[in-house]
Every structure is written in structure tokens, then in C-alpha cells.
Amino acid sequence: MRMSAGIFALALLAGLLPATASPQVESTPIPATKKPNFASMNFLVGTWTCSTRSARRPAPYVTTSTYSMDPNGYWISETSTTAKAPWIPQALTISDKYTYDPDAHRWVDVTYGDLGAYGLSYSSGWNGNRISWHDIGFVPSPDISSQTDTVVTKVSDTKTTSASSFTERKTGRHVSVNGVCTKH
């Protein structure tokens, strides 16, 4: 038996037919994550000049990096510009955002930049004057088969060093990359 639209509406209003339940709207506010304690990282805020030497290049390349606290208090922002070199045909700009993940108990570095550069690294934090960054975005390529973590050593509030390495796929050669950064 078919019910006409008018009879269906009357039956629905009279409560003879079940009405579709409307979804319950959650009114509890999203809890805010506690702001990171940047005490161990605050020395970075300012402008730095870095000289980085890859064992497979004839000379170091120079990068100028500026670190600042993000206005929301959850990130340290870094903008780095690498100067041209014979093997770097144009100046390159990279941006990094650092924060602390209280659930995973680790520091996080999100990287993006010119020519499609991107990366995601994490660290368990400072061990004395050293912090080790593990790049979880690394994927072996036709040129590089593996890489090590990058270890940054805080020499002082105005000087850091860094060390990492990678292995060339074709030759199997282990290439070291070492940097020295000084704050202006």
C-alpha cells in the first residue's frame, strides 16, 4: 500500500513513524596542547652564518639562517638561504619549523623549501651539549643509498658544529658533511 506525501508528513508529525535522529553536536572545546619549553633551544634565536663542507665538494658552501619565535609560542621558525656556489646554480631558501611533541616526547623539525625540498626529522632532545636529528623523510635515491643522523654540538651560545654522512649508491663511498655555525 502506498502512502501519499501528505499522510506520511502527518504520520511523522504525530510520532507514528520514527524520525531520523539528528547527530549530536559535540560542544567540548578542543584541548590546547601545552606550549613547548624552548629553554634548551632559545640560544638559536637570532642570525647565524654556517659554513658546511661535504667531502665530495671542492669547498664549503655558506648558509645564513635566521631563527625567531613564532608569535603563537608553539614553534621556532628558521629561514635559511644558501648562497650560490659552482655546484649550486642559484641561491636556495629553506624554511624549518621546530616544536616539541609532548605525546611522543620528542622535538620535531618540519622542513620545506625551494625546488621541492621537504623533510621531517625528530630528536629525543639534548644529551649534554649534543642533539641528534633523525630524518624520517629520507628515501634512498639513485645517488644516495643511506645517511646517518645529523649530530649538532652546542659549543657555546654563539657557536655550533654539525656532523653527518651519507653513502653514494654507485661507488659505495662514505661522504662526510661537517658544518660550523656562528651567531652574529
Q: What is the pLDDT of residues 150-160, one digit of tens each?
A: 999 999 999 99
Strand boundaries in the chain, DSSP class E: 46-54, 61-69, 76-82, 92-101, 106-113, 117-123, 126-127, 130-135, 144-147, 150-156, 159-168, 174-183
Give the CA angle between residues 141, 142, 147 to the nearest 5°: 45
Q: In this predicted structure, what is the pLDDT of residue 25? A: 84
Predicted pLDDT at 22:
66
What distance in Å separates the CA atoms of residue 167 and residue 55, rounded to the nearest whole number?
11
The pLDDT value recorded for residue 24 is 81
Cell of residue 128, nine digits:
649534554
Domain 42-183: which topology? Lipocalin (2.40.128)
Sorted by sequence, the CB contacts under 8 Å of residue 124 that are 6+ apart come out as: 105, 106, 107, 132
Q: For position 146, what pLDDT does the model report?
A: 96
Beta-bridge partner residues of 47: 66
- 163 phi/psi in degrees, rounded to 5: -145, 135
What confidence tens digit (pLDDT) does each residue in 103-146 have?
Answer: 999 999 999 999 999 999 999 999 999 999 999 989 899 999 99
Distance CA 146, CA 144 (A): 6
Mean pLDDT of the chain: 90
In angstroms, the CA 57 to CA 175 distance is: 10
pLDDT value of residue 96: 98
> Would you say residue 70 has pLDDT above 80?
yes
Assess whether pLDDT exceeds 70 at residue 164: yes
pLDDT given for residue 68 in this prediction = 98
| Listed residue (119, 65, 54, 115) closest to 90, CA to CA | 115
Whole-number pLDDT of residue 23: 73
What is the Cα Rg of the chain in Å?
27
Predicted local distance difference test score (pLDDT) of residue 20: 58
Q: Looking at residue 3, what is its pLDDT?
A: 46
Query: Does the pLDDT value for residue 10 go beyond 50?
Result: no
Q: Are 119 and 109 in contact (CB under 8 A)?
A: yes
Instruction: Look at residue 9 in the predicted model and tell me its pLDDT.
Output: 47
Mean pLDDT for the stretch of residues 46-58: 97
Would you state the pLDDT for residue 69?
A: 97
